[in-house]
A = this chain, B = another copy of it.
Amino acid sequence: MENNIQDLKPTQHLAPPLGGGGGVGSSVSVFAPATVANVVCGFDVLGFAVNAPGDEVVMRVTNKPGITISKITGDDGRLPMDPAKNTVSVSVKHYLESIGRTDLGLDIELHKKMPIGSGLGSSSASTVAGLFAAKTLLGDTSDPIHQLPFAMKGEEMACGHGHADNVAPALFGGFVLIRSYEPLDVVRLPHPKDLYCAIVFPDVDVPTREARQIIRTKINMKDAVTQWGNIAGLVSGLFMNDIDLIGRSMQDVLVEPVRSMLIPDFYKMRDMAMELGAVSFGISGSGPSVFAFTRDEATAHAITQKLQQHLTGIKIGSNGYVSPINDAGPRVV
Contact = CB atoms under 8 A, between A and B. Distances in A.
Contact of A245 (B41, B43, B187): B187
A185 B177 CA distance: 23
Contact of A225 (B45, B232, B234, B236): B45
B220 A42 contact: no
A242 to B, nearest CB: 7
A229 B178 contact: yes
A262 B216 CA distance: 31
Number of identical protomers: 2
Contacts of A177: 229, 232-233, 236
Interface string A32-54: 00000000011111100000000
A185 B248 contact: yes
Given A3-B242, A3-B245, A44-B225, A179 B220 contact: no
A221 interface: yes
Given A45-B228, A232-B42, A236-B239, A221 B218 contact: yes
A9 interface: no
Contacts of A43: 225, 228
A224 interface: yes
B248 A180 contact: yes
Contacts of A4: 245, 248
A249 B179 contact: yes
A189 interface: yes
Contacts of A242: 3
Contacts of A116: none
Interface in A206-240: 215-222, 224-236, 239-240
A231 B232 contact: yes
Given A219-B218, A221-B216, A245-B3, A179 B233 contact: yes
A216 to B, nearest CB: 6
Given A185-B233, A228-B228, A233-B185, A179 B218 contact: no
Contacts of A3: 242, 245
